[in-house]
Amino acid sequence: MRRIAVIVAVVVLAVTAACGEGEDDDGVRDVTIGLLPASVTAAIHVGIDQGFFEEEGLDLSVETGQGGAALLPAVSSGQMEFASSTPVSLLLARDRGLDVRVIAPWTGDGTAAEGTVASANVVLAADPAIRGAADLDGRTVAINALTSVGDLTIREAVRQAGGDPDGVTFVEMGFADMPAALAQGNVDGVWTAEPFISSLIAEGHHAVEGTNNSDAVPQMPTQLIFTSGGLIESDPELVAAMTRALEKTLAYVGEHPDDVRAHVPTVLSELDPDIVARLDLDVYDTEVPRDPLVRVGELLELEGWIENPADIDGLLP
């Protein structure tokens, strides 16, 4: 009981502390966006450098301290105004009654990249016997979070390849722990992202065919920028300004990948410069694609993760 009391107290404090939004004298608005501590976030710094946010009267701070899981609660409690999340998380949240709304695209489907390896997530394996998605049946795959994009798309990939998705065991593991787990043989495959994909390939691991996100859901955006329904209603101008600034940023970074690369160390200061130079950059969408989201919604329903048909219209702007 005492433990519960402590938890209650902490939650109460967190909720009450989660207020605060400022406007400077000169009309510049302080806003915060929560993004992942990953190379994709470099793009937002490019946008800030280019002055896209300033033009809209926004003084944007970027918060990367919180992991993806904490961003939805943070936005809906008002701790921050905007954040990125996956379509899966956003649709799950809406299904449970959390009013989140997408205001802009963010990272897109990896197949649009120029490089040979997709920048979106893919399963890498050591065992040469694991060639295609169907070979994952009966194997263990590490993903960064359960009940999210990883297991949804891998299960679909296995299903499409004629395997039994229930035959795949998923374990949750941080991206950083995956290479060691794969080397130790604790898992047969890891569903990972850059820069780990590049270094694992360099170590002789191979990508499993058909396990890219785009194989399960073509053109699926990996992350979208969202805010809370409450903010859209109470301050539509702020949201509109943010959307415009983000659209300018996305249009610019599509043309200037080197600017993005230059900002990777801003986000990941400890990353080896060699790796930064070789990194496959994320691909950014310039508009939110509707069809892939509908497909994600169908899969969520198929898996039984949501109870009602996915609320795509409520989610999109």
Partner 1 sequence: MRLLRSTLTAAALPVALVTAWWLISRGSQSFFWPPLSDIVAELRPTWLGERLRADVVPSLLRLATGYALALAAGILAGLAIGLSARLRQYCEPVLEFCRSIPPPVLIPIIMLFAGIGDQMKVIVIVSGCVWPVLLNTAEGARAIDEVLRDTARVYRLRPAARFRHLLLRGASPHIVTGARQALSIAIILMVISEMFAASNGLGFATVQFQRSFAIPQMWSGILLLGVIGVTLALAFKLVENRVLAWYFGLRRHQ
Give helix 236-255 / helix 42-49 axis angle, nearest 10°.
100
Min. distance of Cβ 24 from partner 1 in angstroms?
30
C-alpha 317/C-alpha 169 separation (Å) is 36
Q: Do strands 22-23 and 122-125 pair parallel, antiparallel, or not at all (unpaired)?
A: unpaired
* Smaller CB separation from partner 1, 48 or 142: 142
Tokens of 142: 């590490």
Min. distance of Cβ 308 from partner 1 in angstroms?
14
- Per the listing, tokens 């200037």 go with 256
Kindly list the residues in this chain that would bind partner 1 in the complex (CB under 8 A).
1-5, 7-8, 11, 15, 69, 72-73, 76-77, 89, 92-93, 95-98, 142, 145-148, 169-174, 176-177, 180-181, 184, 186-187, 305
Cis peptide before 105 (omega within 30 of 0): no
Q: How many CB atoms lie within 10 A of CB 252?
A: 18
C-alpha 286/C-alpha 26 separation (Å) is 31
Helices (H), 96-235: 149-160, 178-184, 196-202, 213-216, 229-234
Min. distance of Cβ 163 from partner 1 in angstroms?
19
* Smaller CB separation from partner 1, 69 or 202: 69
* Smaller CB separation from partner 1, 38 or 300: 300
Contact indicator for 23, 82 with CB cutoff of 8 Å: no
Min. distance of Cβ 268 from partner 1 in angstroms?
19
- Per the listing, tokens 């396990």 go with 211
Tell me the C-alpha to C-alpha distance, in Å, between residue 202 and each of 124, 129, 149.
Answer: 12, 19, 25
Contact indicator for 92, 300 with CB cutoff of 8 Å: yes
Min. distance of Cβ 305 from partner 1 in angstroms?
7
* Smaller CB separation from partner 1, 160 or 199: 199
C-alpha 114/C-alpha 257 separation (Å) is 11
Min. distance of Cβ 185 from partner 1 in angstroms?
9
* Smaller CB separation from partner 1, 92 or 134: 92
* Smaller CB separation from partner 1, 140 or 219: 140
* Smaller CB separation from partner 1, 65 or 304: 304
Tell me the C-alpha to C-alpha distance, in Å, between residue 88 and each of 85, 92, 162, 174, 200.
Answer: 8, 6, 23, 19, 26
Min. distance of Cβ 93 from partner 1 in angstroms?
5
Q: Which of 163, 157, 121 lies closest to 138, judged by CA?
A: 163
- The total number of residues shown for the chain amounts to 317
Assign residue 286 a region (left: φ > 0; alpha: ψ between -120 and 50; beta: otherwise). Answer: alpha
* Smaller CB separation from partner 1, 58 or 152: 152
Min. distance of Cβ 151 from partner 1 in angstroms?
11
C-alpha 29/C-alpha 251 separation (Å) is 23
* Smaller CB separation from partner 1, 96 or 258: 96
